[in-house]
Amino acid sequence: MAGLPYTLIALLTLLAVGLAIAGKLLIRRISVNAHARRSADERYRQLRVRTETARAEAADESGSQTRDEFLTSASPEIHTPVRADG
Q: What is the mean pLDDT of each run of 10 residues along the chain (86 residues)?
A: 74 90 90 89 91 90 84 67 59
What gap in Å lies between CA 84 and CA 72, rounded to an integer? 25
Q: What's the CA angle centered on 19, arms 15 and 25, to 5 degrees?
A: 145
What gap in Å lies between CA 54 and CA 60, rounded to an integer? 10
**pLDDT for the residue numbered 84:** 59
CB atoms within 10 A of CB 81: 7
What gap in Å lies between CA 53 and CA 57, rounded to an integer? 6
**pLDDT for the residue numbered 85:** 62
What gap in Å lies between CA 14 and CA 8, rounded to an integer? 10
